[in-house]
């Protein structure tokens, strides 16, 4: 990349996915793990609907996490922070389909809680861990180093790792990671072949029925809203049912009359399946604000929302999230260098993220198949006493 005098004076080192996370990349403060902001190149290719727009208009309309002034008047384009096919262009440049757009940014990752990632088993071909809530499994959206894969590499030198299943960011529990692509394929073939049994526990609102409950309802996930809904075909109705087929078995383990501990056994693996199926039954997870229905809000535990994660993989921070009211100014000499063009500096936390999210009361406890079984201890909230 062609750099300005200002950039050279700052001694910028541009990072790529090939640069591995290191222990010194993390800052620990007030029970949260932050990532020291770093310079990173985001790459995208011009889509058909973008073609014919100026480079500034394209970014202004498609990547709304930064203001117009950043792209035009503050000169992200003029300075070379935004390039087309590896070259600097004027702000009047008209983009064409399939051109490569590079956006060089001062990247601020959202924080996660400082809970340890406990290694339950470590073998030559597989690593089994207990994933804490709030940490994504692998790089996604605005998370790269603040992930299970990134932290295990930085703190334990474990790389490469291939997660063979996923847990939502705010879900905790058993996570199996293969240490080779061939081992990952072995696990995935068993999962796709229906040979793997999965067990979770959830703490739900209300007194769950004693008898086993089976929910066989399609799950329709709206990626834009980050929310799923259920739908069941009505007898004699030929209208197509939306979503994907999904089935979950539920068994009550204990109850105190206010909350119940429920064993959840998903037969399929749809996005938010357990959460939305429990809502469908009328017993949503007791701190799951996203799926608490109006009928049970009075029985829920107080807490903040559990789904304000970054779901946007664009070069800019995602739009549509509420402004974070608790971003933290930090000592730049101690923690990181302030970038005068960065729209997040001097705050450590990126805009639009809730740093006080609540860990969801949903925990993966067991995965098993012919020839192997892995288990994870119960969390503290599983006790109803």
* Two tokens, residue 42: 């985001």
| Burial class of 2 by CB neighbour count within 10 A (0 to 12, 13 to 18, 19+) | exposed
Q: Which residues pair with 261 in a beta bridge?
A: 203, 254
Per-chain mean pLDDT for the chain = 84
Per-residue model confidence (pLDDT) at position 309 = 35
State the pLDDT confidence band at 294, using cuts at 50, 70 and 90.
low
Q: Which residues pair with 163 in a beta bridge?
A: 177
State the pLDDT confidence band at 258, using cuts at 50, 70 and 90.
very high
* Two tokens, residue 217: 């309802």
Per-residue model confidence (pLDDT) at position 37 = 94
> With pLDDT > 90 as the criterion, what percentage of the chain qualifies?
63
Domain covering 196-310+353-385 in this structure, CATH number = 3.30.2350.10
Mode of pairing for the β-strands spanning 197-205 and 259-266: antiparallel
Q: What are phi and psi of 363, to 5 degrees?
A: -140, 130
Look up residue 62 and give its DSSP letter.
H
DSSP conformation letters of 256-323: -SSEEEEEEEESS--TTHHHHHHHHHT--BTT-TTT--TTTGGGSPP---S-------SSSPPSSSPP
Per-residue model confidence (pLDDT) at position 299 = 39
Domain ranges across the chain: 38-107+314-352, 196-310+353-385
State the pLDDT confidence band at 340, using cuts at 50, 70 and 90.
confident
Mean pLDDT of 285-298: 74
Are the beta carbons of 136 and 117 closer than 8 angstroms? no
Distances (CA, A) of 214 to 160, 247, 250, 260, 317: 38, 7, 6, 17, 40
Per-residue model confidence (pLDDT) at position 332 = 44
Per-residue model confidence (pLDDT) at position 13 = 66
User: Is the pLDDT at 226 greater than 50, yes or no?
Assistant: yes
In words, the CATH class of domain 38-107+314-352 is alpha beta
* Two tokens, residue 321: 């999230």
State the pLDDT confidence band at 310, using cuts at 50, 70 and 90.
very low
Per-residue model confidence (pLDDT) at position 75 = 75
Mean pLDDT of 323-339: 52
Q: Which of 7, 25, 168, 288 is catalytic?
A: 168
Q: Do domains 38-107+314-352 and 196-310+353-385 have the same CATH topology?
A: no
> With pLDDT > 70 as the criterion, what percentage of the chain qualifies?
82
Per-residue model confidence (pLDDT) at position 334 = 57
Are the beta carbons of 104 and 40 closer than 8 angstroms? yes
Q: How many residues does the chain have?
A: 385
Comparing 38-47, 334-343, 362-371, the range with the smallest average pLDDT is 334-343
Strands (E), the chain: 14-15, 26-29, 32-35, 38-45, 82-84, 100-107, 112-113, 118-122, 126-131, 162-163, 172-178, 197-205, 213-216, 218-222, 227-231, 247-255, 259-266, 362-369, 372-375
Per-residue model confidence (pLDDT) at position 72 = 83
Q: What is the pLDDT of residues 104-161, one digit of tens each?
A: 999 999 999 999 999 999 999 999 999 999 999 999 888 999 999 999 999 999 999 9
168 noted as active-site residue: yes
State the pLDDT confidence band at 19, using cuts at 50, 70 and 90.
confident
């Amino acid at each position: 990349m062609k750099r300005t005098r200002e950039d050279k004076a700052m001694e910028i080192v541009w990072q790529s996915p090939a640069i591995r996370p290191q222990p010194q990349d993390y800052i620990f403060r007030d029970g949260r793990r932050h990532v020291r902001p770093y310079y990173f190149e985001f790459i995208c290719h011009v889509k058909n609907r973008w073609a014919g727009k100026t480079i500034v208009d394209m970014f202004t309309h498609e990547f709304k996490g930064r203001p117009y002034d950043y792209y035009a008047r503050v000169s992200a384009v003029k300075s070379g922070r935004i390039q087309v096919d590896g070259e600097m262009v004027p702000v009047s440049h008209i983009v064409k389909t399939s051109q490569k757009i590079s956006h060089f940014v001062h990247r601020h990752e959202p924080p996660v809680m400082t809970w340890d990632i406990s290694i339950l088993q470590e073998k030559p071909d597989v690593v089994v861990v207990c994933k804490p809530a709030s940490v994504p499994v692998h790089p996604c959206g605005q998370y790269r180093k603040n992930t299970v894969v990134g932290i295990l590499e930085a703190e334990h030198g474990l790389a490469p790792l291939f997660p063979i299943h996923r847990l939502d960011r705010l879900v905790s529990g058993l996570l199996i990671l293969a240490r080779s692509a061939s081992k990952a394929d072995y696990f995935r073939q068993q999962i796709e072949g229906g040979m793997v049994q999965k067990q979770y526990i959830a703490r739900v609102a209300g007194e769950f029925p004693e008898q086993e409950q089976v929910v066989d309802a399609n799950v329709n996930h709206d990626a834009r809203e980050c929310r799923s809904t259920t739908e069941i075909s009505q007898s004699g109705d030929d209208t197509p049912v939306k979503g994907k087929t999904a089935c979950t078995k539920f068994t009550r383990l204990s109850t105190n009359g206010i909350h119940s501990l429920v064993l959840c056994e998903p037969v399929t693996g749809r996005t938010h399946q357990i959460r939305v199926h429990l809502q469908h039954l009328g017993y949503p997870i007791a701190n799951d604000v996203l799926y608490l229905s109006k009928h049970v809000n009075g029985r829920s535990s107080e807490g903040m929302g559990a789904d304000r994660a970054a779901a946007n993989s664009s070069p800019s921070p995602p739009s549509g999230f509420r402004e974070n009211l608790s971003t933290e100014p930090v000592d730049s000499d101690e923690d990181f260098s302030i970038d005068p063009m960065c729209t997040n500096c001097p705050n450590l936390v990126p805009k639009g993220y809730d740093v006080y999210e609540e860990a969801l009361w949903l925990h993966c406890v067991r995965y098993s198949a012919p020839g192997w079984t892995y288990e994870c201890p119960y969390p503290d909230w599983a006790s109803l006493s």
